[in-house]
Structures are given as C-alpha cells and as structure tokens.
Amino acid sequence: MLLAVFGLIALQFWFFAHVAYWVKFDPGSTAFMRARLEILREDNPNAKLRHQWVPYQKISPHLKRALIAAEDAKFLQHHGFDWDGIKQAWERNRREGDIVAGGSTITQQLAKNLFFSGKRTWWRKAQETVITAMLEALMSKQRIFEIYLNVIEWGDGVFGAEAAARYHYGGTAAGLSAEQAARLAAMTPSPRRYGPGANTAYLRQRTAMIYARAQGVRVP
C-alpha cells in the first residue's frame, strides 16, 4: 500500500515537471499525436504527421475567437473547469452508463491531448483533473491557448493551426479569414471526417453559428 502511494506521488511529480517545462518550452508532440502516428504507420510505415509550430502572434485572431466560441465560451473566466458543463456531462454519463460526454474545457482538452491517447476511463478523468489544475496554476491563459492551438487535430494526421490552414486552405494560420476560422472550429468535434473542401449541410450550419458567436468573443 505504501509503495503504491509513493508511486502515485512520483507520477504526479512527473506530470508536474512536464507542465512546468512547457511553460517556457514548446512540446514537440503530444501523446495523442504519437498515438495517431502509430495508427497511420500500420498502413504506411513512412507516414508522417502534418505539424508545424507557430507562435501565438502568428495565429489569426479570427481562429482564436472561433475556437473559444465553439469549444469553451467561459475560457477566460474559469480556472480550468466549467462546472455547469461538468454537471450536464455527469448526468448524461449516468443515464448512458458509460463515459460518453466530458464537459471538457480547453484546458481539460489540452491536458488529455498532452498526456493521454487511450479509451476514456474514470481513472484517466481523475488524472486529467489534476493535470488541468497544474496547467491553470503554472501557465497563463495565453500560454495554455497557444499550446492548444498548436496541437489539436484538424484532419487525419493534421495537427495545429498552421498545418490546418495549409491543408484545408493552402494558406497560413496568420491569414485565416473569419469564415475560414469558423469552419475550422466547426470541424474540431470530428476532425478526421473532413478533408479540404468539405461542405456538408451540418458543417455549413455549425460554421454559421460559430461565425455569429465569435464576433463578441475576447481572447487572451
């Protein structure tokens, strides 16, 4: 029992050390990115991810506003957790008898992507909560958002705003228009479903909704 406690404490120090390092230094990849690369290489041993880190200032403010509007409207107000969203997700999971919704904020999504890649479990959600608190305690909102913008998925093997802009629009993250940004934000729940030029009725509807909401959003 004592050995297990020491092991758990050591694990938390390991997570903490990584988060502290990323306050100043950019993560080269995430656990989720590495897992996706392994899957791609099952079919093509030479497969590579599309990913290019860009600093926060070189990402369109339209994309920043669109993502907050789509993913986490209370991002600037909360300390990592949207309790109303968590309550709604808890009630849905209880009804379904499984983890089908997470009520995740941008910080929680970043915690998951940085360190985890497997199936949702209650243990992983608990550890995610601890890492989320670490991220919020050590990083500014802008730093959390900068990393998030650079590591989220926007296509099969496509990660980060710069790769997404090039893959979907042949441009740069800095040059994304408000409509393009809203469309990218609309893709985030199912990013591998949409290739360049995707134009389904659902995507058009969700893009229009995000475009309208994004106009009044503040960003870090």
**DSSP per residue, 65-87:** HHHHHHH-TTTTTSSS--HHHHH
Q: Are 85 and 93 in contact (CB under 8 A)?
A: no
Confidence (pLDDT) at 176: 98
Q: Cα dihedral angle (52, 69, 199, 146), rounded to 10 degrees?
A: 0
Residue 198 has what DSSP assignment?
Answer: -
Q: How many helices (H) and strands (E) does the chain have?
A: 10, 2
Q: Are 66 and 210 in contact (CB under 8 A)?
A: yes
Confidence (pLDDT) at 120: 73
Confidence (pLDDT) at 132: 96
CA distance 216 to 213: 7
Our CA angle for 122, 124, 128, nearest 5°, is 115
Residue 135 CB burial class (10 angstroms; 0-12, 13-18, ≥19): buried
CA distance 117 to 39: 12
Confidence (pLDDT) at 194: 93
Confidence (pLDDT) at 100: 43
Contacts of 41 (CB under 8 A, 6+ apart): 47
Confidence (pLDDT) at 214: 97
Q: Are 190 and 46 in contact (CB under 8 A)?
A: no
CA distance 209 to 162: 23
Confidence (pLDDT) at 125: 84
Residue 51 φ/ψ, nearest 5 degrees? -160, 130
Confidence (pLDDT) at 93: 56
Confidence (pLDDT) at 97: 54
Q: Are 188 and 70 in contact (CB under 8 A)?
A: yes
Residues of the chain with pLDDT under 50: 99-101
